[in-house]
Structure 1
Amino acid sequence: MMEYEVVDTFGNQVIGVYDTRDEALYEIRLYCVARMMNKVSLFDQDFVTLIDHGDYVTYDNPIGYFPTKPKFLINQV
């Protein structure tokens, strides 16, 4: 059975290991809301856009809040 380990390169830590890639993406989205939305104005908090690059995902919004886009590695384990 293939599992997916998610690593937050912004904080250099493993977020978790998930059964499906969809579950991993869902958990990344929740992680962004829980960990990063406190740095974002209320006006810009209505969505979390993730850009999937295959072996990693970037948190793409809101523009201008993070000098480097937070990046999450998705490793098959």
Structure 2
Amino acid sequence: MFTIEHEFDATVITLVDEGDDPRDYLQEDITIASFEDCVTVEQVDDNDVVQRITFSHAQLRELAAALNLPEGVYRLKDVTKK
């Protein structure tokens, strides 16, 4: 399950781990916040400390592309430049 909320300065997506089986160990919620200049991914760890990773929008585009590619080295082409 996930939620999407549009806030003043960001779009916030929360991913809730519901598990496929009642015996599954469920992970803490993951919160993804998309700001004008970056995207943050947060999750609370086992010590109740929020762990945060910050991506530039370019890094996030590369991550999305990488999820569907085989092993190798790649550079995304900027289609906005002529």
TM (norm. structure 2) is 0.29
Greater percentage in helix: 1
**Higher RCO, 1 or 2 (CA under 8 Å, sep at least 6)?**
1
What is the TM-score with the length of structure 1 in the denominator? 0.31
